[in-house]
Chain A
Amino acid sequence: SQQGEEDPQALSIQEGENATMNCSYKTSINNLQWYRQNSGRGLVHLILIRSNEREKHSGRLRVTLDTSKKSSSLLITASRAADTASYFCATDASNTDKLIFGTGTRLQVFP
């Protein structure tokens, strides 16, 4: 079963709007990571947030982590058409070397 589940499954917005994606997971984690996948390509790492961090920024990306609720959110501000992609959260499973991915959110940004 998936460790992480993203919500919503799909999101459509206009350029300039903000996009928020959520990830929920089941067990305790060391870190949570977010990845982006453009169509037909491999995943690209965006940001890693450690379990003792609550918020992290990288450019137009803002990630929050609430370990008490076992959830994370990814906010993309001032979205661009080039942000159109699928976004995945990933967590370690029970302190192993395995990184388990969620099913992803498909983001469509219209010009």
Chain B
Amino acid sequence: DAGITQSPRHKVTETGTPVTLRCHQTENHRYMYWYRQDPGHGLRLIHYSYGVKDTDKGEVSDGYSVSRSKTEDFLLTLESATSSQTSVYFCAISDPGSSYNSPLHFGNGTRLTVT
């Protein structure tokens, strides 16, 4: 899995609580992404990062924030979890250059349930 570790793999949390998902890579890749996958919607981009402290929004960024203080770690935070954020979250990395010039390598996902 291209040296990508997502943690936790599964999490159940209550509505209104903050949640942080972690993506750790050992590939020293510049670009990191967070996607969510839901039935009928495929994968949708939440946020991405093109370097340390450089991040940008994706298609479905509302209710999410990210941070990247080190090349190897990209954190996704749900500031106040809602049931609509129940999903499977995937981290991906790519290098060199931009995602449209090189393939993405995905982690195995975090299954988040908000009750």
A residues adjacent to B (C-beta < 8 A): 2, 29-31, 33, 35, 40-45, 48, 88, 90-92, 95-104
Contact = CB atoms under 8 A, between A and B. Distances in A.
Interface string B39-73: 01111110010100000101100000000000000
A47 to B, nearest CB: 9
9 A-B pairs with the lowest CB-CB distances in the bound complex, closest first? A92-B100, A42-B106, A45-B103, A103-B42, A101-B43, A99-B99, A97-B98, A43-B106, A30-B100
B101 interface: yes
Given A97-B31, A99-B45, A103-B41, A42 B100 contact: no
Contacts, number: 70
Given A30-B100, A31-B101, A45-B103, A98 B45 contact: yes
B42 to A, nearest CB: 4
A98 B47 CA distance: 9
B8 to A, nearest CB: 15
B106 A44 contact: yes
Contacts of A98: 45, 48, 58, 99
Nearest to A34: B103
A15 to B, nearest CB: 27
B79 to A, nearest CB: 22
A100 B35 CA distance: 10
B1 A42 contact: yes
A48 B103 contact: yes
Nearest to B1: A42
A103 B38 CA distance: 9
